Amino acid sequence: MQSNIEAVNVKRILVLNGPNLNLLGTREPEIYGRTTLGDIEEILRGRAHEAGVDVIDFLQSNFEGELVEAIQKSRGRYDFILLNAGALTHYSIALRDAISSVPVPVIEIHLSNIHRREEFRRTSVIAPVVLGQICGFGVDSYIAALDIAIRKIQKDIK
């Protein structure tokens, strides 16, 4: 049986991916690259394991409500959320409200640089309620977000 002190030191990260990210590797590879979402999950699992993260869970959904529910249920279950909301980034007030309703820090991730793309992609309605945003570095955007989350978790534990 774990003591309460050990339970507090468990590091848990949730990685959420929104609409169309299940098509990574084949969808517009000139913008998003050829790396699949499965490849990204494998890379993050390995990096998290090396860093001593106990739980790294992944969810991809094309449905806004499923992502909202995952964020709502994260309270007390996760220390951090890494979120690539895809197109929902630009218009989902429901996602924004879910993020601001739970005390779990969120890092917004984008493979492409949304600020160099079409005008409608340059606005993130979730940016004001997340810890920070990383975009434009392809798969490295995910790796950087994971590394930051791990450092923040470790800093809070010490």
List residues with catalytic annotation. 32, 110
Indicate the pairing of strand 55-60 with strand 106-110.
unpaired
Relative to beta strand 80-84, strand 106-110 is parallel
115 three-state secondary structure: helix
Distances (CA, A) of 156 to 13, 59, 72, 81, 137: 14, 25, 22, 16, 27
**Exposure letters 15-44 (e unless 16+ CB within 10 A, then b):** bbbbbebbebeeeeeeebbebebeebbebb
